[in-house]
Amino acid sequence: MDFSAFVCSFFICCFCCSKAMPTTLNQDAVNDRPVIGILTQIVSDEVMKPFGGTYIPSSYVKYIESGGCRVMPIRLTLTTAEYESIFQKINGLIFIGGTGDLEKSDFARVAKIFYRLALTANDAGDFFPIWGTCMGLQLLTVLVAGENLLENTSAENIALPLNLTTGYKAYTSRMFGDFPDDLMKALKHEPLTGNFHRYGVTVKTFQENEKLQSFFSVLSTNVAENGAHFVSTIEGKRYPFYAVQWHPEVNRFQWDKKLNFPHSRHAVQLSSLLADFFANEGRSSLHQFDNPEEEAASLIYNYTPVYAANFTAYEQIYFF
């Protein structure tokens, strides 16, 4: 039987007519050695400047590693061709929190290159997940909407429960799909999500924006200090793109006592299950490095983090 012809015609049909979730094509293939790219963040804090121009807090690295993935740091100084090449090697991407211009910075420029590559790949059945945390969520909304819709939704240094749009039913979303009932209940009633942001997308703005509305499902909302309701957890309807305005990594990997990092058993469980979830998304991506040497040289294991708890809210930071 001409298997390749069958695959090909199925592919064309799937792509043109049905707009099925991209997962359908390689749903049986599993990659148990996922490498997740983390886009480095531009240093803006004066106290961090002596160490380097870009950075990744170790908490994000540990978070990804805890799910059974390895991390590749992605610098902001490469050419478009180099990013296209990296895209073919990694199995998912994280946009981390921080501060910066979401339209004109190098961070925004590189993010947009990967975002477009990911859209095209997923459309063609080449599964590729993206996760955004805090500013990463804000960035994803800018990329999807094609404009900056952020408003003051200040919630700085406060842990909150989520106002779940899905009720207690975990199975109505992919992100919370494997959560046990008691964790869903805790998520709704206990302050398990650490918020450290000034800006966000209000529920009203989200609902009025056709692009955001058709791209993402809102899984939770929260109320800001100024009373604004903002979207706090979103997942792509058709694409494996996920984002949280809060910080799941701090629950297990940041300890500054001045900040409201949730460390309860449920808070830790929430962080673990989300890392697990995203790692599993990465396992559906079959991208790979050209050879083991190239892979080894690309991983974050080549770098040593700096102890940073005495001058930042992070315990350790990788600088580049």
Ligand X SMILES: *[C@@H]1O[C@H](CO)[C@@H](O)[C@H](O)[C@H]1NC(C)=O
Q: How many residues bind ligand X (CB under 6 A)?
A: 13
Task: Closer to ligand X by CB, 146 or 167: give it.
Answer: 167
Residues 212-243 as b/e (b if ≥16 CB within 10 A, e otherwise) read beebbbbbbbbebeeebbbbbbbbbeebbbbb
Q: Does 311 bind ligand X (CB under 6 A)?
A: yes
Q: Does 165 bind ligand X (CB under 6 A)?
A: yes
Among 120, 152, 207, 214, binds ligand X (CB under 6 A): 152
Identify residue 56 by its one-letter amino acid code: I
Query: Which of these ranges, 28-36, 110-118, 142-150, 307-315, lies near ligand X under the rule CB under 6 A?
Result: 307-315
* Cβ atoms of 74 and 110 closer than 8 Å: yes
Is 287 labeled as catalytic in the residue annotation?
no
Is 247 labeled as catalytic in the residue annotation?
yes
Task: Closer to ligand X by CB, 86 or 164: give it.
Answer: 164
* Cβ atoms of 32 and 283 closer than 8 Å: yes
How far is residue 4's CA from residue 158's CA, in Å, rounded to a whole number? 54
Catalytic residue among 14, 69, 197, 247: 247
How far is residue 198's CA from residue 150's CA, in Å, rounded to a whole number? 10
How far is residue 191's CA from residue 260's CA, in Å, rounded to a whole number? 10
Q: Does 225 bind ligand X (CB under 6 A)?
A: yes
Task: Closer to ligand X by CB, 66 or 154: give it.
Answer: 154
Q: Does 226 bind ligand X (CB under 6 A)?
A: yes
Q: Does 312 bind ligand X (CB under 6 A)?
A: no
Among 148, 163, 217, 272, binds ligand X (CB under 6 A): 163
Catalytic residue among 134, 197, 266, 287: 134
Query: Would you state the structure tokens that stand for residue 58, as one six-digit string?
Result: 């170790």
Closest residue by beta carbon to ligand X: 226
How far is residue 152's CA from residue 201's CA, in Å, rounded to a whole number? 8
Q: Does 138 bind ligand X (CB under 6 A)?
A: no
The residue behind tokens 């695959």 is 7
Task: Closer to ligand X by CB, 94 or 164: give it.
Answer: 164
Query: Would you state the structure tokens that stand for residue 65, as one six-digit string?
Result: 């590693």
* Cβ atoms of 108 and 101 closer than 8 Å: yes
* 73 φ/ψ sector (left φ>0, alpha ψ -120 to 50, else beta): beta
Q: Does 207 bind ligand X (CB under 6 A)?
A: no
Q: Would you give the binding string for ligand X spanning residues 166-195, x where CB under 6 A is met?
A: ------------------------------
Q: Which residues bind ligand X (CB under 6 A)?
A: 152, 154, 163, 165, 198, 221, 223, 225-226, 229, 307, 310-311
| Residues belonging to the active site | 134, 247
